[in-house]
């Protein structure tokens, strides 16, 4: 199966985050979800927890990832592995957008102050 860039759904929020969904159960992948994320300068994700491991492969820009209370600087070609069950937040730093390819097991859930859900780009 091939998912062309022009066919991948895009999810934007008002805070400056864009996720482009590639592999996921709704697009034919049974075991792994893969998406590309872009955070505008200064943009940050909400604090959240995952029930499965999540892996970020940084492509461009810089970010600070806070994982279980520890800050980690992330830049191009760095790989960030977020363990399940820990508080996590990522914030774009620098003057250009932070971009990364992200993957986690299909069906993995995210817990935030708003509830538990499978992100739409990964479902």
> Which pLDDT tens digit goes with each residue over 44-59?
999 999 999 999 999 9
Distance in angstroms (rounded) separating the CA atoms of residues 123 and 49 = 17
Calculate the average pLDDT of the chain: 95
Q: What distance in Å separates the CA atoms of residue 86 and residue 28, rounded to the nearest whole number?
A: 29
Residue 14 confidence (pLDDT): 78
Joined tokens for residue 9? 């759904």
Above 90 in pLDDT, residue 23?
yes
pLDDT digits (tens, 9 = 90+) for 70-111: 999 999 999 999 999 999 999 999 899 999 999 999 999 999
Nearest to 11 by CA among 34, 38, 40, 32: 38
Helix (DSSP H) and strand (DSSP E) numbers for the chain:
0, 12
Beta pairing, strands 49-50 & 54-60: unpaired
H-run or E-run covering 47: none
pTM above 0.85, yes or no: yes
Q: Structural domains in the chain?
A: 7-122 (2.60.120.10)
| Predicted local confidence at residue 19, as pLDDT | 96
């Amino acid at each position: 199966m091939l998912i062309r860039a022009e066919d991948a759904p895009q999810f934007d929020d008002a805070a400056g985050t864009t996720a482009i969904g590639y592999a996921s159960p709704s697009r034919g992948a049974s075991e792994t979800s893969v998406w590309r994320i872009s955070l505008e300068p200064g943009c940050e994700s909400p604090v959240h927890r995952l029930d499965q491991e999540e892996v970020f492969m940084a492509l461009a820009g810089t970010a600070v990832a806070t994982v279980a209370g520890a800050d980690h600087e992330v830049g191009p070609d760095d790989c960030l592995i977020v363990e399940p069950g820990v508080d996590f937040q990522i914030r774009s730093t620098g003057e250009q957008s932070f971009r990364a390819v992200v993957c986690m097991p299909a069906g993995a859930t995210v817990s935030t102050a708003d509830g538990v859900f499978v992100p739409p780009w990964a479902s």
